[in-house]
Amino acid sequence: MSKLYFTEDHEWVSVDDDGIGTIGITDYAQKQLGDVVFVELPEIGREIERGGDAAVVESVKAASEVYSPVSGEVVEANDSLPEAPGQVNTDALGDGWFFKVRLSEPAELDELMDQEAYDAFVGELD
Amino acid sequence: MSDPTVSLLTTPLHALHLERGARMVPFAGYDMPVQYPMGVLAEHLHTRASAGLFDVSHMGQARLVGPQRIAALEALVPGDLEILKEGRQRYTVLTNDQGGILDDLMVTKRADDLFLVVNAACKDADLDHIEAHLAGFDARLERLPDTALLALQGPLAVSVLAGLDARAAEMGFMSGRWLSLCGVDCFVTRSGYTGEDGFEISVPAEAALDLAQTLIANEAVALIGLGARDSLRLEAGLCLYGSDIDTTTTPVEAGLSWIIGKRRRAEGGFPGASAIQQDLAQGPKRCRVGLRPEGKAPVRAHSAILGPQGEVVGEVTSGGFSPSLSAPIAMGMVPAELAAPGTAVSLVVRGKALPAHVVEMPFVAHRYHKA
């Protein structure tokens, strides 16, 4: 499994050898949200910037923005998610991924947390 | 976020909520469970299929006593309490001089008092308001701060409660009586705010935990949080005070004309009677309606409602995802000419106008006990 990077907004990105990043929200985030009932995904081809609004996830209670952890072009969206948004709850780091980006600034990854740092960050929140 | 410097009140079931893994949130000054580990969707569906137990002890309970108690309360609400038989319950509203709604409340006529249940957020203001208007009447308000309130809601609620006191099964919808539950006298009404058959149980605070634990020991019963309480009442098309109704809406605009008694329509004698009588006679200028967005995106309160020319005509007052329908539902206030079911409107979500149409409410059929 490729290395996971995390943001303080509880997104994750895993980058493959071709420089494509897969982005989702963390297990901590889905637990905080509760039952996910709707997602809005970015259009293919859209250029997004690190930290910019990229997607929306709505639980029964409220809507939340999903910010892209990296800059680049959206190359794929998880088409199964709008039909089965509960995948975000059941498999946040797997089937519940949101979209894929071709990284334009791979160096941005250095600014993100690794698993250990993220776990420590989340530990501070509880 | 909650302000940690403000200490929150707790209900007699607080320790139980924590023990059961509830996620707690500040609500109307109380630390309340928004959901349990089951999650809002499952809690909602459990209530519709079986029975849910809600801690609504944060709501205000009081009794109005004295020979002129009925006249005293009729001076503040448009409901006909005179014709209410003993043991019968009414939904009514406190109105202001403009005919707006100060709060909604439940009133039960008992042998020697009127038993009142008011919303948590408004309870002090409501009870102060009532008390301030008792001068001139031989009536007195007694607050019941040492009384908890449990709501047992859902199709299996009656069999669960009848297991503790068989007389529960004999009760009609919107009636109240004393039952002996776990050896304690509780005042129970066959009512609730989910659209389901169910009961609200007024229990002495010191006996509430024991009663709650007895109820949830029944496998039909699950503890349900405020999250599902809100989605259940929205599906049932019931108003949330502060969102769907407030001091600027009249009962007629809110679709609550049915709560205004025939005699009261003619005689008035409650705050804002002339404005309400005018709404009744001429039809209100705007109406609370049900809305069904055509897509899947939930539409939340305060989203703008656009009319046929794309102009803003109103606002969504409550909205969310309906677990029973697996679709978004909402309520909002629109001009009367756009209130007919089937009328096409748009709802603005994140800057986009999404198509929706006006529908009849409730969104999910009520299943109150018909006796």
Cα separation of B298 and B290, whole Å? 14
A78 class by beta-carbon count within 10 Å (0-12 exposed, 13-18 middle, 19+ buried): buried
pLDDT of amino acid A62 = 87
When CB atoms are compared, the residue of B40, B297, B320 closest to A34 is: B40
Q: Are B130 and B48 in contact (CB under 8 A)?
A: no
- Name every chain B residue with its beta carbon within 8 A of the beta carbon of A63: 298, 300, 350
Query: What is the residue-averaged pLDDT of chain B?
Result: 97
pLDDT of amino acid B370 = 85
Tell me the pLDDT tens digit for each residue of B270-298.
999 999 999 999 999 999 999 999 999 99
Stretch B350-357: mean pLDDT? 96
pLDDT of amino acid B341 = 98
Query: Of A8, A35, A24, which is closest to residue A125 (Cα–Cα)?
Result: A8
Q: In chain B, what percentage of residues exceed pLDDT 90?
A: 98
- Name every chain A residue with its beta carbon within 8 A of the beta carbon of B294: none
When CB atoms are compared, the residue of A37, A40, A56 closest to B321 is: A37
Stretch B229-244: mean pLDDT? 98
Cα separation of B316 and B332, whole Å? 4
pLDDT surpassing 90 at residue B109: yes
pLDDT of amino acid A125 = 87
A18 class by beta-carbon count within 10 Å (0-12 exposed, 13-18 middle, 19+ buried): exposed
pLDDT surpassing 80 at residue B371: no
Sign of CA dihedral B255, B261, B266, B271: negative
Q: Are A12 and A93 in contact (CB under 8 A)?
A: yes
- What is the number of alpha carbons within 13 Å of residue B58 lying toward its C-beta? 21
pLDDT surpassing 90 at residue B46: yes
Residue-range domains of chain A with CATH = 2-109 (2.40.50.100)
Phi, psi of A33 (to 5 degrees): -70, -35
| ipTM score for this prediction | 0.88
- Name every chain A residue with its beta carbon within 8 A of the beta carbon of B35: 34
Contact B39 A34 (CB under 8 A): yes
Contact B297 A38 (CB under 8 A): yes
Stretch B157-167: mean pLDDT? 98
How do beta strands A99-103 and A72-77 pair?
Answer: antiparallel
pLDDT of amino acid A3 = 86
Res. A61 pLDDT band, cuts 50 70 90: confident
Q: Which helix (H) or strand (E) holds B45?
A: helix B40-49
Instruction: Give the residue on A whose Cα is nearest the Cα of B297.
Output: A38
- Name every chain A residue with its beta carbon within 8 A of the beta carbon of B300: 62-63
Tell me the pLDDT tens digit for each residue of A41-53.
999 999 999 999 9
Res. A82 pLDDT band, cuts 50 70 90: very high
pLDDT surpassing 90 at residue A31: yes
pLDDT of amino acid B3 = 56
Tokens matching residue B267: 């005689």
- Name every chain A residue with its beta carbon within 8 A of the beta carbon of B41: 35, 37, 60
Task: Compute the nearest-CA separation of A51 from chain B (Å).
Answer: 18
Instruction: Give the residue on B whose Cα is nearest the Cα of A58.
Output: B298
pLDDT of amino acid B278 = 97
Residue of A37, A79, A88, A125 to mutate for B, most B C-beta atoms under 10 A: A37
pLDDT of amino acid B4 = 55
pLDDT surpassing 90 at residue B31: yes
Cα separation of B18 and B15, whole Å? 5
- Name every chain B residue with its beta carbon within 8 A of the beta carbon of A40: 297, 350
Omega cis (within 30) before A85: no
Contact A60 B227 (CB under 8 A): yes
Tokens matching residue B251: 């009962």
Contact A38 B300 (CB under 8 A): no
pLDDT of amino acid A1 = 53
Query: Of A119, A86, A124, A90, which is closest to residue A12 (Cα–Cα)?
Result: A119
Q: Are B198 and B151 in contact (CB under 8 A)?
A: yes
Task: Compute the nearest-CA separation of B298 from chain A (Å).
Answer: 7
Coil, helix or strand at residue B249: coil
Task: Compute the nearest-CA separation of A88 from chain B (Å).
Answer: 14
Res. A2 pLDDT band, cuts 50 70 90: confident
Task: Compute the nearest-CA separation of A13 from chain B (Å).
Answer: 25
Stretch A93-120: mean pLDDT? 96
Cα separation of B324 and B349, whole Å? 22
Cα separation of B240 and B55, whole Å? 17
Res. B256 pLDDT band, cuts 50 70 90: very high
Stretch B295-324: mean pLDDT? 96
Phi, psi of A62 (to 5 degrees): -160, 165
Q: Are A82 and A18 in contact (CB under 8 A)?
A: no
Task: Say what the alpha-carbon torsion angle A106, A107, A108, A113 is, to the nearest 10 degrees.
Answer: 110
- Name every chain B residue with its beta carbon within 8 A of the beta carbon of A37: 41, 298, 321
Q: SS3 sequence, chain A?
A: CCCEEECCCCEEEEECCCCEEEEEECHHHHHHHCCEEEEECCCCCCEECCCCEEEEEEECCCEEEEECCCCEEEEEECCCCCCCCCHHHHCCCCCCCCEEEEECCHHHHHHCECHHHHHHHHHHHC
